[in-house]
Structure 1
Amino acid sequence: MMMSERQFFNVEPEVAGGLAEGTVLDRSSHPPVVSKVHYRVEGWLGDALIESFPVFLLRQEAWNAVVAEGLTGARIDHAEIPPV
């Protein structure tokens, strides 16, 4: 593939729970601006990518692959995931 060619993929991340108390969102814009994520796991099947609007969560190995490939357009921060 030439460097100027782009590939796009459609992904459908697992929804394994939802945003929990402690999540900080600014809902004055759409999508909301997130400054802190607390995620409650309710039924995770083990996928490396999960979502709960307006955030996506990646396992560390998946994020390492994103960084290694030099992909852009995403911001990383830590999410609090309390024990079940």
Structure 2
Amino acid sequence: MNADLVPLRAALLPGGTPAAAHAHLARTLARRAERAVVALAETGAIGPAAVPYLNRLSDHLFVLARSLNMGQDSQWEPGGND
């Protein structure tokens, strides 16, 4: 999916189509889970594959959201999106 997308030139604002907005929300939840798992991994209470898996999941959800927006992503502009 990423190969078909225009390279990023700026940060993106979450949203867009309803499906893309849901993918952005799922990415937020995956990132929150990743932070919790990192804390667990420091205690040794979780397997070593969990952190990279959640990281790749959040990456996939970001690319999915961009793909669902079909190139119509909202880019963040300093001082312009307030």
Q: Scaled by the length of structure 1, what TM-score is found?
A: 0.28
Q: Scaled by the length of structure 2, what TM-score is found?
A: 0.29
More strand by share: 1
Pick 1 or 2: higher relative contact order, CA cutoff 8 A, min separation 6: 2
More helix by share: 2
